[in-house]
Amino acid sequence: MRRVLLVLAGIAIFAVLWEGYKLVGSPDGTVIFGVRVLPRADDLSMPHLWTIAERLGRPEIAGGRPVGLVVLQACAFTFGITAVGFVIGALVGLVLAVVMQRFRLAERGLLPYVILSQTVPLVALAPLVAGWSGNLSFGPYPWQDWMTVSLIAAYLAFFPVAVGMLRGLQSPAASGVELMRSYAAGWWRTLVKLRFPAALPYLFPALRLAGAAAVVGAVVGEISTGTRGGVGRLIIEYAREATSDPAKVYTAMLGAALLGLVVAGTVGLLEIPLMRHRRHVEVVTL
């Protein structure tokens, strides 16, 4: 209940700030030393929030479906792609974290490259991935465009999981590790009984970051590869009408934002049952 109230409070604060700036802001934006630091406050750049909400209920085109329904269907398509990328990225991150925790040499050799991988511009990477994967196939099943987008989402999702999980696996106190050794527990049993449960408080914040990163990767991947059906492509299509129908552009961006919240909320639901093991970890590590 508390989280729901905080979300509602955040939405209310955002609405007040948006409408407040639109009320007092300059139609030409706020310029300091020749640099625009705040956006224009005119109706073309910043429509009223109620105008955006009203646009959701009107048809996308004459005689077509409501914009809200089109955006929801696009978000559902992107959510499926994001889920696949998120799962792949999370699994890759978990495996890398376990390997780096087990072998110090692997940590020294892999961790710099894991960090370096996130410095590659995603906009430049997406066309390369699309080109590399275009000739792949799984037997009689050719590679699909949505697979490329999922791969890009996984590329962004694996990093926070790998780094956060590694920190969590290394978090148990030396006394807890020595206690497991006194029981003649091997590396695998220590991992399952001590290190993995102790890593849960580190894992779930990393998974939330990975979920948000996967959404960004999916949206940018759809835009860069031209994949149709998702909210990323919808943003590009609606942006062409920005001068004549600016509220329509914001409906697609609103859908992308809600998609990120849904992914984060899904990870939060997974956190509730698994975090019950934390109290057992505290007993072991004392």
Summarize pLDDT for 152-167 with one digit per residue, the tens.
Answer: 899 999 999 999 999 9
Residue 274's pLDDT band (cuts 50, 70, 90): low
What are 20-50's pLDDT values in tens digits? 888 887 777 777 777 777 777 777 778 888 8
Number of neighbours of residue 181 by Cβ within 10 angstroms: 11
Percent of the chain with pLDDT over 70: 92
Confidence at residue 241, expressed as pLDDT on a 0 to 100 scale: 81
DSSP state of 229: S
- Whether the CB-CB separation of 71 and 231 falls below 8 Å is answered with yes
In whole angstroms, how far apart are CA 278 and each of 117, 118, 275? 32, 31, 5
pLDDT at 281 over 70: no
Confidence at residue 95, expressed as pLDDT on a 0 to 100 scale: 93
Map out the domains of the chain as residue ranges.
Answer: 1-46, 66-285
Question: Options 1.10.1060.10, 1.10.3720.10, 3.40.50.450, 2.120.10.90; which CATH number does 66-285 get?
Answer: 1.10.3720.10
The enclosing H or E element of 118 equals none
